[in-house]
A and B are shown apart, each in its own frame.
Chain A
Amino acid sequence: MTTVIVPRLTKESGSMTQLKHYTLNFGPQHPAAHGVLRLILEMDGEIIRGIDTHIGLLHRSTEKLAESKLYNQSISYMDRLDYVSMMCNEHAYVMAIEQLAKIDVPIRARYIRVMFDEITRILNHLLWLGAHAIDIGAMSVFLYCFREREDLFDCYEAVSGARMHATYYRPGGVYRDLPDSMPQYRPSPYRSKKYLASLNEARSGSLLDFIEDFTRRFPACVDQYEGLLTDNRIWKQRTVDIGVVSPDKAIAWGFTGPMLRGSGVAWDLRRKQPYEVYNQLDFKIPLGKNGDCYDRYLVRIAEMRESNRIIQQCIRWLRENPGSVLANSHKVVPPKRAVMKEDMEALIHHFKLFSEGYCLPKGEAYVAIEQPKGEFGIYLISDGSNKPYRLKIRSAGFPHLAALNQLCCGHMLADVVAILSSLDIVFGEVDR
């Protein structure tokens, strides 16, 4: 921790200089800074009087880069924005393209997207829970959360080949259908046969079998986290009544997602402005009451349970309804390789798509989805060309972090860490 303590001299004490306010530099290299956040804390003893938040240390100018690239080339940049909820970011981006190009997405692709959105939500909340707990001092929760994340990463890998940065969603659907087999652990001198068999037991069927097995195991895992935290006296002392946000303030500060619902505002885009197939699924929107760190924790825990239910409903539907997962639109979707070998038109389409891309009609669209952290929006302006004219990424974490000063004033130094991690900040999306 780079800690620079600058004592402030006060005048009222005459010739004797008395130290009163401190300026404390927090980060940018600090484990509780969730990446590269630099805070300059104005402190009166151990009480925070003001915070100057410095961001931008992870700024990679994604918006500028997107303006120089074809539409499809930017999908993989979306993964790297909020690198904890990868597929949700892709989702908003491809939906913006689909809205401008007026592409119809096959229903099976919609269910696959919703299922992976919810897998992503669990992934995100698990990382958040582990990091939040370790920031406050509960070590073991972190390890348990990562145990379950590993299984979900395997789902990502099975479907896209990449464990984190999937680039699985494409304008018009998803890249490919769900695989019929899962990759298995191979024998190794470090694993007994019995242990190997237990690892591969859930992986003997298709991806859907594997996810279904996970959804059966997962509620017990959440019970386990809750058993460690929910009624834990230390946990409650660190989170109850810390960082309270009133509903009015949450709206004025532009809070979305669990930050808004933790304050008791029933606002969830999956329900209020349903996209894909959310209006056909049965799930609840968990709400908090007091808007403190503890309520936000409870909301996210309850959201994991609801996501688990949504995934189960999607699995049921996907088992019964085979079909295409990419729109039949040759101008946006590349043709299959086998078709290209025989069909001249397909070859031309392929060549044009990868050498020039596709032009979207003139216009603009703002598309928002309920990402695990809140509202993730893509504001896309097209001037009729093959590249986005302007791509504005509205990340959920940006307004949350902007309110950190107001949230922390009057609290103690140790509460800054608790409040900061309850915001669920990832710098990939804040700095873009």
Chain B
Amino acid sequence: MQKKLQDYLGKYLGKEIKIIPGVPGQLTIEIPAEKIRATALVLRDEKDLDFAMLIDLCGVDYLHYGVAQWDTTTTTTEGFSRAVTEPKFDATNASNPRFAVVYNLLSLTHNWRLRLRVFLEASQLSIDSVVAVWPAANWFEREAFDLFGIQFKGHPDLRRILTDYCFIGHPLRKDFPLVGHNEMRYDATLGSCVYEKNLVKERVVVPKVIRDDNRYRSETD
């Protein structure tokens, strides 16, 4: 089944398309940002592909991808630092572009799923909207704009959707603190809502560690 889909993808999208096999039954293709509109149209309209439904669209921030807060390989000599002392990420993931937009597509006629990923540089954070291709993208793109600050060119109504009316920043970016920047309360004397700087200190109870010893692989691998 996956082989057939791969063949069709190669046939209609050209050989240069980057196909990344993942978990069995889930294909990912990567395309450059400028090709998104054309690719979306091919994926939807070619009867051999027929990805009529956009199931999901989301942004991803790869800033800290593969970067841990604790180094587990040198601990024998150096020991762990205390967890609650706010371990910061001192490195960033510089090898890849920072952002990505991921489209999860579904073909009802062929019963296929396909993941489409477009990497975006932080300096050029905009991509063509696919609302004209899949109307379902409307709110998903607004959400990605709200949470990551990705601009969707040609979107009919690109406003914030999930955060507050006068929210500043894009909360799902990795450099946005978990506790936020501002907090809001109702001031009875003023009779209105007041926004103040957040005084809560960010605290990491369990640091992020990466273990690469393959102990979770099953026997069949």
Q: Of the candidates A102, A254, A384, which one forms a contact with B210 in the assembled complex, judged by CB atoms under 8 Å apart?
A: A384
A273 at the A/B interface (Cβ < 8 Å)?
yes
Q: 8 Å CB contacts to A: which residues of B123-171?
A: 134-136, 138-140, 147, 160-164, 171
A64 and B178 in contact (CB under 8 A), knowing A254-B53, A331-B215, A361-B216? yes
Q: Are B216 and A332 within 8 A (Cβ)?
A: yes
Least CB distance from B109 to A in Å reads: 10
Q: Are A385 and B210 within 8 A (Cβ)?
A: yes
Q: Are A366 and B104 within 8 A (Cβ)?
A: yes
- In the assembled complex, the Cα of A64 lies from the Cα of B140 at a distance in Å of 17
Q: Are A59 and B215 within 8 A (Cβ)?
A: no
Q: Which residues of chain B have C-beta atoms less than 8 A from A368's C-beta? A: 55
- In the assembled complex, the Cα of A212 lies from the Cα of B56 at a distance in Å of 38
- Of the listed stretches A4-12, A132-140, A193-201, A391-399, name the one at the interface; the rest are far from the partner chain: A391-399
Is the interface on chain B under 10, 10 to 19, 20 to 34, or 35 or more residues? Answer: 35 or more
Q: Of the candidates A56, A100, A359, A403, which one forms a contact with B161 in the assembled complex, judged by CB atoms under 8 Å apart?
A: A56
- In the assembled complex, the Cα of A265 lies from the Cα of B147 at a distance in Å of 33
Q: Of the candidates B26, B171, B218, which one forms a contact with A64 in the assembled complex, judged by CB atoms under 8 Å apart?
A: B171
Q: Are B139 and A102 within 8 A (Cβ)?
A: no
Chain B 195-221 near chain A by CB (<8 Å), digits 1 or 0: 000000000101011111011111001
- In the assembled complex, the Cα of A253 lies from the Cα of B22 at a distance in Å of 28
Q: Which of B22, B115, B178, B216 has the most CB of A within 10 A?
A: B216
Least CB distance from B140 to A in Å reads: 8
- In the assembled complex, the Cα of A389 lies from the Cα of B113 at a distance in Å of 22
Q: Which residues of chain B have C-beta atoms less than 8 A from A74's C-beta? A: none
Q: Of the candidates A252, A379, A385, which one forms a contact with B134 in the assembled complex, judged by CB atoms under 8 Å apart?
A: A252
Q: Are A377 and B56 within 8 A (Cβ)?
A: yes
A251 at the A/B interface (Cβ < 8 Å)?
yes
Q: Are A361 and B217 within 8 A (Cβ)?
A: yes
B29 at the A/B interface (Cβ < 8 Å)?
no
A267 at the A/B interface (Cβ < 8 Å)?
yes
Q: Which residues of chain B have C-beta atoms less than 8 A from A384's C-beta? A: 66, 210-212
Chain A 358-395 near chain B by CB (<8 Å), digits 1 or 0: 11111111101000000101010101111101101010
- In the assembled complex, the Cα of A256 lies from the Cα of B209 at a distance in Å of 38
Q: Are B56 and A392 within 8 A (Cβ)?
A: yes
Q: Of the candidates A104, A273, A357, A359, which one forms a contact with B206 in the assembled complex, judged by CB atoms under 8 Å apart?
A: A357
B172 at the A/B interface (Cβ < 8 Å)?
yes
B54 at the A/B interface (Cβ < 8 Å)?
yes
Q: Are B104 and A359 within 8 A (Cβ)?
A: no
Is the interface on chain A under 10, 10 to 19, 20 to 34, or 35 or more residues? Answer: 35 or more
CB-nearest residue of chain B relative to A358? B216
- In the assembled complex, the Cα of A68 lies from the Cα of B221 at a distance in Å of 30
Least CB distance from B106 to A in Å reads: 8
- In the assembled complex, the Cα of A398 lies from the Cα of B160 at a distance in Å of 15
Least CB distance from A93 to B in Å reads: 15
Q: Of the candidates B54, B61, B178, which one forms a contact with A254 in the assembled complex, judged by CB atoms under 8 Å apart?
A: B54
Q: Are A383 and B210 within 8 A (Cβ)?
A: yes
Q: Of the candidates B134, B172, B206, which one forms a contact with A63 in the assembled complex, judged by CB atoms under 8 Å apart?
A: B172
Q: 8 Å CB contacts to B: which residues of A31-68?
A: 55-56, 59, 61, 63-65, 68
- In the assembled complex, the Cα of A401 lies from the Cα of B34 at a distance in Å of 30
Q: Which residues of chain A have C-beta atoms less than 8 A from B212's C-beta? A: 384
A346 at the A/B interface (Cβ < 8 Å)?
no
B36 at the A/B interface (Cβ < 8 Å)?
no
- In the assembled complex, the Cα of A323 lies from the Cα of B58 at a distance in Å of 40
CB-nearest residue of chain A relative to B115? A366
Q: A102-B217, A392-B56 are in contact. List 4 more A-B contacts (CB 8 A).
A: A102-B216, A103-B218, A384-B211, A385-B210
> What are 9 A-B contacts with C-beta separation under 8 Å?
A64-B176, A254-B55, A332-B216, A364-B22, A379-B102, A386-B206, A386-B208, A392-B102, A394-B55
